[in-house]
Amino acid sequence: MVPPGGSPRTPASHTRERIQSAALELFAAQGLQQTSMRQIADRLGLTKPALYYHFASREELVRSLVQPLVDDVEELLARVEAQDADDAAGPRPVLEAFFDITYRHRAINQLAVRELSALAYLDLGTRVVGWRHRLTTLLVGADADLAARTRAVVAAGGLADCIVMFPEVSLDDLRTPAIDAACAALVGDPTPPRDTVRG
């Protein structure tokens, strides 16, 4: 079936991807609540019926943008959780995989930071807290003391924050220092260098 305003030579999946890409650009530029479905359709030269053929509402469109992030993080955590303790390679590969997923979905993560209240219907905040709990357990174990769990929270949270704070930095430039810093946080040195202390 050809969508209204579409073309028999344009696969539906390609059109959906174009809509998602345009929507994400507009959401980033002017905000989620300030972006209408008509604006998205106009950006692509589509009619509104053509747009609604693929996404019944803005909420459905936003959900389609967020869902790949959810699926990727859930798959990573479930895969690592299923590993035998003897097969575990240590925390660095877990942090590397978590960084790669977060970076791949950096536009969504940046949108979530700015628009968390607008995304409340997706319950994304609760999901992120749940992911952090599971990631903390994977990094330091379920029976770790408070100091170790605190370091794990700092490691995982700081790793994700690097992607939000340095959006202009390329993957190659950011990946190693960010992961190194996260691993250093896990080790923990409670005494900072003297010349960094501010009184």
Contact 177, 163 (CB under 8 A): no
Residues 6+ apart with CB under 8 A from 32: 62, 111, 115, 118, 119
User: What is the reported pLDDT for 17?
Assistant: 94
Contact 107, 167 (CB under 8 A): no
pLDDT tens by residue, 73-89: 999 999 999 987 666 67
Q: Is residue 91 scored above 80 in pLDDT?
A: yes
Report yes or no on whether pTM surpasses 0.85. Answer: no
Residue 144 pLDDT level (bands cut at 50, 70, 90):
very high
User: What is the reported pLDDT for 124?
Assistant: 85
Q: How far is CA 77 from CA 26, 134, 172, 173, 182, in A?
A: 31, 7, 24, 26, 18
pLDDT tens by residue, 168-187: 899 999 999 999 999 999 98
